[in-house]
Chain A
């Protein structure tokens, strides 16, 4: 890592530590990419919930309860990616 950072410093005239830059980049990329899938998933889930309630308004309570279950399960995927970003940033 020291060799790489010296080389990088020499070639790119970078100020600052390449390792720190890589950590920050890892955090940003992890957060960004990790939000794509669950974003689409949650939107789809909500759309389906609205459709289901529109079709059968009397089942609103049960459908909402299922929606919350699905919501938490898909939101968790964001946090798996965010966690890895934090691990890279604070520990890596």
Chain B
């Protein structure tokens, strides 16, 4: 083997070990416990309790991650624009222009109609960027585990958590899209006209049944849009945690064979699923808004 090839193989092995580090970090935290329950990683204990009457506005893990994603998105934008936009972009401006061009050409243009484009392109682009950043930062091991012991001063162990692995986050965003596309539909066609678009051309006898089915499928969009993102992220993270803690789960060291599987899932999720799910959410939001405005049965 040439020097270059052996160097490449060695660096690939080093990268694999580095990527295995977070999964191993998760596995080691469970050594003292009798039971290995990965669902405890998704329990939200408040860091700062803020209960205003019936509302629980405590700052917990998910809130911190959401704030982090928002700060990254806004920060990058401000950082690029503050320095002055140049005709020949370099560095960060290049990256932001890439994201802008991607969201405009691939997501917003094919889905939104001309009448709503200027009003909803910022929403679709923000949706994509926020969800992509939110999904991507969820694979960085941060000290947010439910256990502590490795670090002094009671700082929790390293763990993975995704803000979008919480149904409340995805449902909130879905509700915004739901209200947006219904509002646009009623704006474009009038309330009666919009209701008429839900009734498909069909023989008079079965029209009411198919209309009911259409209404049901519209309501199910709420469920499908939110659960798709939520379940993707939750299942991905649970799989990684379970693969990392397989040694504890089995009780003997044969579980070490699950570590490469965990690393594979980790890389697969981070590289593909994180960005893809954000793209899908933004694209479907655009499609729903576009359909609601231009629908004509």
Contacts and interface: CB of A to CB of B under 8 A. Distances in A.
- Chains A and B bind each other: yes
Interface of A: 65, 68-69, 71-73, 75-76, 79-80, 82-83, 86, 90
6 contacts: A65-B106, A69-B280, A76-B228, A80-B228, A82-B235, A86-B238
Nearest to B39: A90
Nearest to B228: A76
Contacts of A80: 227-228, 231
Contacts, number: 39
A68 B227 contact: no
Given A73-B280, A80-B231, 11 more contacts: A65-B106, A75-B232, A76-B227, A76-B231, A79-B227, A82-B231, A83-B231, A83-B235, A86-B234, A86-B238, A90-B39
Contact of A72 (B230, B238, B276): B276
Q: Which 8 A-B pairs have the closest CB atoms?
A: A79-B231, A76-B228, A72-B280, A83-B231, A90-B39, A82-B235, A79-B232, A72-B276
Contact of A68 (B228, B230, B232, B279): B279
Q: How large is the interface on B (under 10, 10 to 19, 20 to 34, 35 or more residues)?
A: 10 to 19
A90 to B, nearest CB: 5
A71 B283 CA distance: 13
Interface string B217-248: 00000001001101110110010000000000
Interface of A is mostly: helix
B279 A83 contact: no
Given A79-B232, A86-B238, A69 B283 contact: yes
B280 A79 contact: no
Interface string B264-290: 000000000000110110010000000
B39 A79 contact: no
A72 B279 contact: yes
A92 to B, nearest CB: 12
A49 to B, nearest CB: 15
A76 to B, nearest CB: 4
